Each structure stands twice: as structure tokens, then as C-alpha cells.
A and B are shown apart, each in its own frame.
Chain A
Amino acid sequence: MSDLLTIAGNTYSSRLLIGTGKYKDFEETREAIETSGAEIVTVAIRRTNIGQNADEPNLLDFINPDKYTILPNTAGCFSAEDAVRCCKLARELLDGHDLVKLEVLGDQKTLYPNITHTLRAARELIDDGFKVMVYTNDDPIVAKELEDMGCVAVMPLGSLIGSGLGILNPHSIRLILEEANVPIIVDAGVGTASDAALAMEMGCDGVLLNSAVAHAQKPVLMASAMRKAIEAGREAFLAGRMPRKAYASASSPLDGISR
């Protein structure tokens, strides 16, 4: 079945986007990501350790940029200025690669997005030629504004980053989906496979997660579960679920029973 996710003109057969943080080591990162089937992989941009350990392994030796679409994110940025600077460094680092995940955070306790700074940074990045996939809250008005501005994907939170609480307000996500003309990707909050499946059954275009896999007891096995959940949820969405009813409806004919 040809059912591709299109982001900024590029197509992907996997609808799972996965982070590379919080794994035990790079080998586990590589194995989990490979198992997940994800084609888009997020990374963070940070200061290089200097003065020691010249042979320290590098993430991009394990996650090959020729094989995966590397999505640098601005996680850890608490202002529009810092986020824009981070994206420019990422573009230089990745030889002109201009697809970025914009995430401007509001405070340490909730890591909730700071929307005023997010809007400002998105504007500036788009004007500078970046293709912006934007982390936002589950407010349908803000989501629409980010789309209208030219973001290539809008990524509302299911719940707080790293919380594993799942999709706390599916009604808001549904409102966002009803109006969207760009991919809507649930980003943050997924705790286990059923959370990811729910997002896809609702009609989301994809799911971005990290902790649910990295912090599972067996990350590689959870990566496999997520792959299947995303595929199952997507197929269920495309199949169209039966209506909910208040009373029973027999699956076997009630006539012709021997008496």
C-alpha cells in the first residue's frame, strides 16, 4: 500500500519520528532507531567537549546522515534568539540542511512551549529559508497560525515532554486536525504503544517520540512495538472505525437456531 508521509516535498514511508536522547550508549541508539523503522531522526546541537578525549565517539558515526533525515532540534532553547542561533549552527553543521525542529521552551518544570517566542522564531527562520517543523501546544488557533506562517509541519504535544502521560486532550488534537493542511505530528507525551496508536487512529500524520523508547526497560523491543503501533493506528484510521453504539449488535445471525 502506498501511503506516504510528505514533509516539505520529501516523502517518507515511516510515520514514526524518533529522538536520539537518553539512550544507554550510541550502539543502543543505533539499534533502537533501526528497529523503529523511523526515517527522520532528531538530534541536539551542543558545545563540543574540548581539551580531552579526541577519540570520543560521535552520534553521527552511528546515525548516518546519508541514511536518515537528520532533524536538528532547538530543545534547551528558552528564547527565540537562542533557537534561531541554534538552527543556523545546525545548518552549517549539516552542510546546508534546512529542515529543523523548532522548540522554544517556557520553563524548566513543564518544558511547555513559549508560544510568543515560538511564533517569532518561526517567522525569522522561515524568512531565512528554513523549513520549520514546529513543536507547539495543543491550541488549534496557534496551530493554524503556525501553518499559515509557512511551517511545514505542526507538532502539538500530547502531554508534557518526557512525561509519558499519553494524549491528554484528544479533543484539541482533533480540532487541530480538522483545520490542518500540513502534517500534524504528535510530539511529546507518548508513553507506550497504545498512545502512539491512538494518535494515528485519530488521523495524525505521524508521531515524534523519544523517552517512551529510550526509557523503556527494553528500548529496542519498545522501538519495535512503536513501529507496529504506528502502522496499526494508521491502517485503522484509513480503514475507518465502526460507529460506537450504546447497545449490543449480534455478529452471528439470530435466526435459524436449532430448537
Chain B
Amino acid sequence: MIKIEHLSKKFGDLEVLKDVTVEIKTGEVISIIGPSGTGKSTFLRCINLLDRPSGGSIRIDGVDILDPKSDVPKVRQKMNMVFQSFNLFFHLSVMDNLTIGPIKLLGMSKVDADRKAMDLLKLVGLAEKAESYPDELSGGQKQRVAIARCMAMDPKIILFDEPTSALDPTMVSEVLSVIRRLAKAGMTMAIVTHEMDFARDVSNRVLYMDDGVIYEVGTPEQIFDNPQKEKTRTFINRIRSFSYHIASPDYDLYAMNAEIETFCDKQILPVKTRQNLLLLVEEMLQIYNPLLSTVLLDINLAYSEKKESLEVVFESTGEAINMLDKSLLPDELGLTLIQSVTESIDYQRVNNKNRVTLILKKK
């Protein structure tokens, strides 16, 4: 359906896309993941010609859309884009947002356009908001309207550019469930996303982009569970885990807490879990405090989606010592709190380091 070969894009001297070659087949759902600033959104914008590529070719059903003779507005009608910031017409009602394109560009009658718009609003669960204005809707509702508006143009493919990034975490799932429904219905889609669980679930293929190229392509299982290449492995590992290095007793607890909270946000962990996690980390650090002027301490958090468990590892240099050994503690207050929020605690001496592994209780 879409065949992209050697696509490149430069902004002045900055080469954002270097040499992108990929084919998207009808009915495929492709997720595009990767670090920020690696060209994912530019790639989508180039496919839709919102940014003019600097080189390469894009063929849709055999037609080279970069050919100066090709009819760009017509090409754009075949694909439609959902933006991070919704891009609704704020002066138009929800209904008019959905019908303006079909009436003006496809020549559809108002009656037909209204009927189709209502069907699509039902599909995204917003029929009752037909006469509302975008400002009266929540972020999640706005994005669902934006998706319905895309569908109103009968596109062959929808390009999603981080459709949930601007949303409050509570609204992410309502938008993702609409996209899932479209995927089930066989819609061809390319989705730039940071929602890894979603990308894993919904995609046929995942493209990992890094530094302006498609660095690795694979099934969701390959990319998320068994990435073959180094950068993909590092990226996947990092989004599932968090590390903090402490080299002095004067560490900044609040800076660390803020980073832990960001990690919890990314994993969409419940408030109770994050409270328990912050308590666990602080209590552990209190216990390690006497050592911190002489040893290096690494804290690693890893969330396993499959097991829905959060593992916290404290690894310290220095001679073999289990800091949670009751006989070494002045009292058991901290340990009691740690035990109350964990389901297991394990000490091991590994590679000349002391490793304490704690699994947080699920509830």
C-alpha cells in the first residue's frame, strides 16, 4: 500500500531522517517507537507531506506522491493524521468538525455527512456530544473526536502522532481503546507512541527508530522481549527500569523521589504502589546511611508488566554485609516498614557487591 524508499529529510544542516525504507501493507498496524528527537514524528509528517522530504520516494498504491505532477490534496485524502494536540476546529461544533471535510472536499451531501458523522461518534462513544464545542470536552474526548474526524474522510491509512502524549494519564485508556477498535476492524495505521504496552498489544510490526533511521523492525514479541540489536535493547531496558546512583550521604532525596515518580507515571502505577515505593526507598537509604560516605550504592527499579511486579535492587560496593541483618540494626523500625510493603527480600553477594533484592507488594 505505502512503499517508502531511502526517505530523507533535512532542516538546514540538521539531518533528521537519513535513509528510511519501509513498506506498510493494507490492514497492517505499525507502531513506531524510539527515543525523543530521533525523527519519528518527522517521518509521519513526511509521509503525509506536511513536511516535504529532502530525498527518496513514497509510493501509495504505486503512485509516487513526491512526483511534482501528483495531486497532493488528493493524496492526503487517502491518509489522515491524528495529532498530539488534537487540532480540532475550536469554533465548530463536534458535528461540524466531522462533516466539514466530507462536505467540502468529498462533495458529500449534508444529510449523508451528518449520518456518517453520527455513526462515527457512536463508534468513539461520543454521540451525545455531537452539538458540543471542543472547549467543552476533556482531552480524551477531544482526541476521540479527532479520530472520528479522521475516519469521516474514509482514509486508507491513519497516521497517529503520539495521540496520548498530551493527555492526563486517566484519559489515555479511552483513546487507546478507540484505536484498538479500529485496529480490530482492519484499519491500516502507523502510530508513533510512547505507550509501550499498547504498542505491544495492537501492532503487527514495531519499528524502532534511532538517529534518523529505522534501526530495528520486528514483531512486538521480538522488539519488546528479545530485541536483536544493541540500541533497541538499551531503549527497551530503560523504559522498563530506572537507576539512581548514590555516592555520598548528601544525596538529594527529593530529586530522586521526583525521578521515581516520573518512572511510576510512565508505568502507570497506582498511587498506593508509588507511596509504598517511596517509603521503601527512603527506609532502605536510612539503613544504608552509615555506609554512604565509604561505599557506592546503586538503586535499580524494574517493572515487569507480565508479572505486574516491581523489583527494587540495592547494590553496594564494599565488604560483604547484609544491611538488613537484624543484628546489625540499631532498631527494627525501618525494617518493619520495609517488610510491610514488600513480599520478598533477598540478599546475595554478587561480583564483589552486596545485592539486596526486594519485590514490592502488589497491594
The judgment on whether A and B are partners is: no
Please give the residue numbers on chain B whose beta carbons come within 8 Å of chain A beta carbons, in ascending order.
Answer: none
